[in-house]
Amino acid sequence: MQVHFHGAAGEVTGSMHLVEAAGRRILLDCGLIQGSRESEARNEHPFPFDPSTLDAVVLSHAHIDHVGRVPLLVKRGYRGPIYTQGASAELLPIMLLDTASLSESEAERANRYRRRGEPKAQPLFSAEDVHATLRQVQPLAYDQRMTILPGVDIALRDAGHILGSAIVELWADGRKLVFSGDLGPKGTPILRDPAVVKQADLLLMESTYGDRNHRDRPDTIRELGEIFEHAWRDRGNVLIPAFAVGRTQELLYWFARHWETWKLARWRVFLDSPMAAKVVAVYGRHHGLFDEDARRVWAQSPNPFRLPNLHVAETTQQSMAINQIENGAIIIAGSGMANGGRIQHHLRYNLGRRNAHIVFVGYQAEGTLGRRLVDGAQWVRIHGRDYRVNAQRHTVGGLSAHTDQQGLLEWYGHFQPAPPLVLVHGEDKAREALAGEIGERYGAPVELARPGMVLDV
């Protein structure tokens, strides 16, 4: 068995790892690269392998940095099966069609301003490419080992990151490879804790927060309540850039749990994301994947997805109308890193207001607008225009969908014996810190994945 590292190898986005085993080629994830304009331009580059030579694709979960280039893979010749957990299979069309729409809009915008003689911009892929991709998807259940190719078995275990997220176990050539995907923190609302895996000949593990620990969840929830109270006294709006899958649902869950203590009835709560509204419907169909507490909350009032003052902005006109509100609005909108989507329009109207509050509840990758705001930028450019940042900024790390350093160490500690480890899906600072901790605590060999690196299992 050999593993070729082609994505999320020294960065957080663009997950993509090629496994060659039993005479077959299996691709783990095929994610979109996100961040700066230069980083995102790499999405258009040729794949470092011929897509038509792949025998299977296995997707750990439906976040776009893990699945966003799958339609491009199909567009360029892949015709085999695409395996993923059943809830992820339902989320894929929502995520991929949105990405296709954004790509088509960006190409159209670029062509409006292109100079004479410049080549016409093309979208990365189209809705037709997405529909072709979906015909190849084969949903799987958790905890069932199955043969996907002669001599190759896989099983998916709950990763506790978002609905349908999976740890991938792969057996071939008498060896076992485990790919963590993205691991959620223990005690995440709605979702179950990440499954324990005890044996591997090689482990590929994410390291997004390998150099830090999150705030305790009770402290985080208390901080959120304080932000809302402060914003209400300031007579301002609260803007929350949030991924359509995961953070949005958790936020609504906490809104329901703390409806009275946070005095949310006095606010107007806007979910400005047609995609997130569709995702909410998928969550509603998969109560069986929830933890016990979430199932109880769903039976109570108010239901997290049907808060009495929750307004879902489906149309562009409804989204634009929100920007006429100068105070008393909590606005949840994508994208989660503020690098596109409707949140940028709300930022344009609110960044200059000293009484506005911007709350970041997820990881902000290098080069994104969200990262620049978190890092304290005084001016930012949105849609070609510069905006002064007067708004108050808050980073609420305890709501991350990724587990922290302590969680990663604890999850790794269940393996007996401690397997060789390759750290993926993390920036070098985080990976180096985690590698040091694992080496000291467990004495296991640790590699930091680099693009083009090949390892024998």
Predicted local distance difference test score (pLDDT) of residue 25: 98
For residues 127 and 367, the model is more confident at 127
pLDDT tens, residue by residue, 54-88: 999 999 999 999 999 999 999 999 999 999 999 99
Picking from 98-102, 125-129, 352-356, which range would have the lowest pLDDT averaged per residue? 98-102
- pLDDT of 205 higher than 70: yes
Per-residue pLDDT band at 306 (split at 50, 70, 90) = confident
Residue 133: other Cβ atoms inside 10 A:
24
Predicted local distance difference test score (pLDDT) of residue 90: 96
Of 343, 356, 275, whose CA–CA distance to 64 is shortest?
A: 275
Predicted local distance difference test score (pLDDT) of residue 173: 96
Q: Which of 33-42, 291-300, 334-343, 347-356 holds the top average pLDDT?
A: 347-356
pLDDT tens, residue by residue, 391-428: 999 998 778 889 999 999 999 999 999 999 999 999 99
Q: At what angle do helices 405-412 and 428-442 cross, to 10 degrees?
A: 40
Predicted local distance difference test score (pLDDT) of residue 302: 62
The answer to whether 6 touches 17, Cβ cutoff 8 Å, is yes
For residues 423 and 251, the model is more confident at 423
Beta strands in 389-456 (DSSP E): 392-395, 421-424, 446-448, 454-456
> Which percentage of the chain shows pLDDT scores above 90?
72
The overall average pLDDT reported for the chain is: 93
Per-residue pLDDT band at 257 (split at 50, 70, 90) = confident
- pLDDT of 244 higher than 90: no
Predicted local distance difference test score (pLDDT) of residue 110: 82
- pLDDT of 109 higher than 90: no
Beta strands in 36-119 (DSSP E): 56-58, 82-85
Picking from 124-133, 163-172, 207-216, 392-401, which range would have the lowest pLDDT averaged per residue? 392-401
How many degrees, rounded to 5, is the angle at CA 401 between CA 61 and CA 84?
A: 10
**CA atoms of 2 and 9, how far apart (whole Å):** 16
For residues 196 and 278, the model is more confident at 196
Is the peptide bond between 123 and the residue preceding it cis, with omega within 30 degrees of 0? no
The answer to whether 388 touches 379, Cβ cutoff 8 Å, is yes
Across 93-105, average pLDDT:
90
Predicted local distance difference test score (pLDDT) of residue 301: 59
Helices (H) and strands (E) in the chain, counts: 14, 22
Across 348-370, average pLDDT:
92
Predicted local distance difference test score (pLDDT) of residue 370: 94
Q: How far is CA 318 from CA 115, 205, 321, 342, 377, in A?
A: 34, 41, 5, 11, 30
Residue 429: other Cβ atoms inside 10 A:
11
Q: Which of 113-122, 238-247, 352-361 holds the top average pLDDT?
A: 352-361
The answer to whether 243 touches 333, Cβ cutoff 8 Å, is no
Of 59, 33, 58, whose CA–CA distance to 47 is shortest?
A: 33
Predicted local distance difference test score (pLDDT) of residue 154: 98
User: What values do phi and psi take at 41, rounded to 5?
Assistant: -65, -25
The answer to whether 297 touches 253, Cβ cutoff 8 Å, is yes
Predicted local distance difference test score (pLDDT) of residue 216: 85
Buried/exposed code over 74-92 (b: 16+ C-beta within 10 A; e: otherwise): bbeebebebbbbbbbbbbb
